[in-house]
Structure formats: C-alpha cells, structure tokens
Amino acid sequence: MENKEIARILDEIADLLEIKGVPYKPIAYRRAAETVNSLSQPVEDLKPAEIMKLPGIGESITNKIVELNETGHLPYFEELRKGCPIDFESLLAVEGVGPKTVKLLYQSLNIKDLDDLEEMAKHHQLRRIKGMSEKKEKNILENIKYARKTTRHLLGYMLPLAREIKAKLEEFNPVMRVEVAGSIRRRQETIGDIDILVVTDNPHQVMEYFAAMDLVDRVIAKGISKSTVRLKADVNCDLRVMPEKSFGSALLYFTGSKEVNVEMRKISIKKGLKLNEYGLFRGDKMVAGGTEEEIFQELGIHYMEPELRQTVEDLEAAIRSELPPIIGYQDIKGDLQMHTTWSDGKNSLKEMAETARELSHQYIAITDHTGNLQVPKGISEDKIELQMREIDKLDSEIEDITILKGLEVNIDSDGKLEIKEEILKDLDVVIAGINSGYRQSREQLTDRIISAMENQYVNIIAHPTGRKIHKRSAYELDLDRIFQASVDTNTYLEVNSQPDRLDLKDVLIKKAVQNGCKLVIDTDAHSKERLNDIELGIATARRGYAEKKDIINTNNLRELTKLLDK
C-alpha cells in the first residue's frame, strides 16, 4: 500500500478517535501519519523492526501498518468506522467545523458529507440543532464553497503575492517591521495560506488597514492581535501583530512548523522555562524573545534556518549540532538549463543572456530541446550548428557573462538519445531527460536513465522523477541504482526550479547527497522572467540539507568546466 494511503488511514483513525472523545491517541496517530507521509521510501519496503524505529511509531501502529501492507485492510479501522461512515476530510475542511461539530451534525441530522451538509444548511435545518444558531448556519453555508476547493498553492506563485502584501504593509506608517512567516518562510513546495507578522505599537490601526487592503476579498476573523482574511487571489492570509520586544519569539512561533513549535515548547518545559509567541520565560521573567537567535541560544540549540524547521527530527539534529551549513542564496554562480525561441522558449538568446547577467550569473548554458517530439518542440538537427555559431557570436560580444553551448536531449523509450551523438561532442553541457513514455515499469525507467548516464557526453539528468505537483506523481524509479550510477559516471542530477516541478524534491535531495551524488540547480526557464525561479531550486536544495560543495554550479567557470568533462 502507498505511503499516502496508509497515512490517510492513520489520520482517519485519529479523526474517529477524536470524535469518540478518546484523549491523546489522536495526537499519536497524527504524528505517525505525519512520519509515514514524510518518508522518502515506501514503508512497504521496510521491515517491521525498522518501522518500529520511526519517530512516533511504536508497537501498536507498526502492527497496523504491517497488516495493511500484507492484507490491504485493517479490522481495527473498519470496526471504528462502522459506527460512523463519515467523510471527515471534506467536512473538517469547512472553516469552523471541527470534530465536535461533525459529531453533532451526524448524530442530530445524519450528515455524512458536504452534500448532506449543504442540503441541510440550505433548508435551515442546522439552526434547529441545540447548540447551533442562524449565524453558525450562515457561516457554514458560506464556508462550504471554499471547502470544495481546498487545494494547496505552489510556492512559486505565493511568494510574489506574499512579498506584495509585505510591501503594502510597509507603506503604512505605524508598521515598524514586516516578515513573511509560516510555510512560505520555510519555503515548503506547496502553501496552505499566507502568514505575515507585523511589529507595531498600534495594533488597532494596523488591523483596520490590513482588512481594508485592495487585495482582500472578505474578512474571516479580526481581533486585536490576529486576523484572517480571504484574498481575491482565492487564498487565506493570516496576520499576526506583535510588539517589538516579542519579535523573535513571534517570528519563531509563526514560522513553525507546528511540530517544531510543540517540541521546542516541551524542551523549554524540561528546562524549567515557558515558551510562547511572547517570549521565553522563567516564571514571570522574560529571558529571551527579541530575536530568534537569542531563544535558540538560551535553549542551547544551534540556530536553525527556516527551511530546516520542518520536523521534530530536524530539531533533534540541531540539538545534536548535526545540521550542515546549507547552501546560501548567493552561492549559485550560473544557470545551466534554459530555453530560447530556437525551441519552445519565449525570449531570444540575447534577452536570456542579458537577464541572466542582471542576476549576476557568471555563466549560463543555453539548452534548447532537440528531438522529434511535438511537445516539447525541439530544434531540428540541421539548425543546431547554426545556433551554436550564434551562441559563440553572442558569447564573444557580451561582457561579464559566459554563454555555454548545450542541448536538452530526449531519452527515448529504449534509453537511447534522440540525437546523432557526434553533434554532442562539441557542446559544453548535455542534459538528458525523459519527456515521453512515462508509463513503463520501474525497472525499464531506471534502465533508461542509467543508459543515458552511461553516455560519455551526458552531464545532467533533467527532472529525474518527472513529477508535476497537482498534475502527475513521480514515476517509480530504483533510486539507489540511479544514485550509484550518478556517482560512477559523473552524471549530475538536476534540481529543476520550475514551480510545479522542484525535481529532485527535498527528501530525495537529502538521500542523493547522503549517497555522494553531486547536483545542479537550474531554472529550466522558458522566458527571461522565470530565470528568477533559481531561488526556488536553491530553497529546495536547502530543505534537502545540500551544502555548497554538493552543487556543481556553485563553482567558478573554470572548475565547472572540469566537472563537465566526463
């Protein structure tokens, strides 16, 4: 059974237990679900003893996971659900509806899913329930609309919007400081909502200003220190307002993750302290809170970069001083995949090069598509030489940046490159990728990639797992073999920065680096604007614990050229 499915069942067990009013167990099942979800390999491939060692998973849950994998079902779960055949996921997605309300709705009106709920709300049945009201009914009816489209949003689209809101808030005089927090600050690949922290001495004024901003569609909640609005862009935005002296503790709290927050608070308790968003306290006395660094220091923990504040394990690594010095946003010296009007790009060679230079890149590689596919449409082989002369000409004319000659070549369904090999020998960079025929077996797909790696001219494997967030999941690969072949053949794995790719993704980058692989972070930009996406790839590499030395395009041109010579 897939990890996602197992995690979903564990989560539903948590929901069921919560409705029954069972204490603490729901937390345990949620933690276990979280762990299964964040695994970089199928839990199916693990032995029971290994599952047992996973954080938050003990004997009881291990047995349940093993049973699910072996038989495909779980009597404990089916028994629990017998009493209440409810679609929790969709009902709980309604803002303001929690486990207690679900129970109430089911017991009084036999409501099992969103359709039932909408029907009953429309016919004014909810207000008749004891403990409900007309107001609550209206609220629910309104919020059902949003519950039906609870998709997470791509970081690449939310980051510019969050920065726009930040800039708007900074224009307002009483605002002293603004930081984007939450999953955006952690640079998670998908984002549930936008979280923003403001420092001010005038919370009332700031809340009024925030709620009245042009970007806001409607106000969901508005208090003196916290407000939530729905933006016209169809995403929620939470604003937290705090005084200067609590800036660090507030930013720490609002950046999360929740799991890291809870664990840090437990650690504080053990040390006889109390941690909340207002500060770190010993009794009534505040011992830290102005900056995040101060709080980490007081707790005896190394500072954690926001990108690494994801799981309890990240925090434990920080406590053991095992967090590596991850790659910085300024460390990338050049971009090694982009497309121009010669294939399916929107901008010319020159426009791409000039934009890259503005981004302070020392070098770029132009890597238009080749091959016979209609999508992506490639340059025909007879035009390649012409383009290479154009690139040489541009390179000799343009100052302060070097333009490398490259191509992105398709790997065909037999693992052969869709191009005459002799064309490749004069290039600086050759990228190979699977752009068709994803539906093969795990072994076939792995063999295809490895035969491309074994080609003496191929330097980089593009978007190695082929996933597209919200569209297509990663194809199954034997990654251990891929990582080994990458090391053996000096072929680098790509961290593709397109907002919906981010491929390799964070947990796989971590595994690749552990296996000694070297990676390249590039944008795969099809227009000059998208050259900025490099920060998304860097963020993903940071979340994957990658250091500067793990990424080949942190090198100067001279060293890079050596690394590209197989």
Partner DNA sequence: GCCGTTTTCGGCCCGACTGTTTTCAGTCG
Task: Give yes or no for residue 154 binding ligand DGT (CB under 6 A).
Answer: no
**Within 10 A of 426 (CB to CB), how many other CB atoms are there?**
11
- What residues form DSSP beta bridges with 522? 496
Note the residue count of the chain: 566
The one among 99, 156, 182, 279 contacting ligand DGT by CB under 6 A: 182
How far is it, in rounded angstroms, from Cα 346 to Cα 156? 19
Chosen from DNA, ligand DGT, Mg ion, none, partner binding at 459 (C-beta under 5 to 8 Å by type):
none
List the end-to-end C-alpha distance of the chain, in Å, as a whole number: 40
Encode burial over 7-26: b for 16+ CB neighbours within 10 A, e otherwise. Answer: bebbbbbbbbbbbeeeeeeb
Structural contact between residues 101 and 87, judged by C-beta atoms closer than 8 angstroms: no
Query: Which among 434, 457, 429, 453 has a CA at the least distance from the CA of 338?
Result: 429
Sites for DNA among residues 201-240 (CB under 7 A): 221-228, 236, 238
Angle at 210 between CA 208 and CA 211, to 5 degrees: 65
3-class secondary-structure state, position 310: coil
Task: Give yes or no for residue 99 binding DNA (CB under 7 A).
Answer: yes
Closest separation between CB of residue 49 and DNA, Å?
A: 13
How far is it, in rounded angstroms, from Cα 510 to Cα 506? 6
* Interface stretch with Mg ion, choices 38-46, 174-182, 315-323, 525-533 (CB under 5 A): 174-182
Closest separation between CB of residue 24 and DNA, Å?
A: 4
How far is it, in rounded angstroms, from Cα 296 to Cα 309? 12
The one among 193, 305, 395, 447 contacting Mg ion by CB under 5 A: 193
* Interface stretch with DNA, choices 50-58, 117-125, 153-161, 330-338 (CB under 7 A): 50-58
CB-based burial label for 193 (10 Å; 0-12, 13-18, 19+):
middle
Sites for ligand DGT among residues 20-39 (CB under 6 A): none
Task: Give yes or no for residue 238 binding Mg ion (CB under 5 A).
Answer: yes
Site string for ligand DGT, 257-296 (x = CB under 6 A): xx--xx----------------------------------
How far is it, in rounded angstroms, from Cα 459 to Cα 409? 11
Residue with the CB atom nearest ligand DGT in the bound state = 256
The one among 193, 313, 395, 547 contacting ligand DGT by CB under 6 A: 193
Q: How many amino acids of this chain bind DNA (CB under 7 A)?
A: 58
Task: Give yes or no for residue 182 binding Mg ion (CB under 5 A).
Answer: yes
The type of residue at 374 is: Q
Residues engaged in binding ligand DGT (CB under 6 A): 182-183, 188, 191-193, 195, 238, 253-258, 261-262
Question: Contact residues for DNA (CB under 7 A)?
Answer: 23-25, 27-29, 31-32, 55-62, 92, 94-102, 131-133, 135-136, 139, 182, 193, 195, 221-228, 236, 238, 258, 261-262, 265-266, 268-270, 274-278
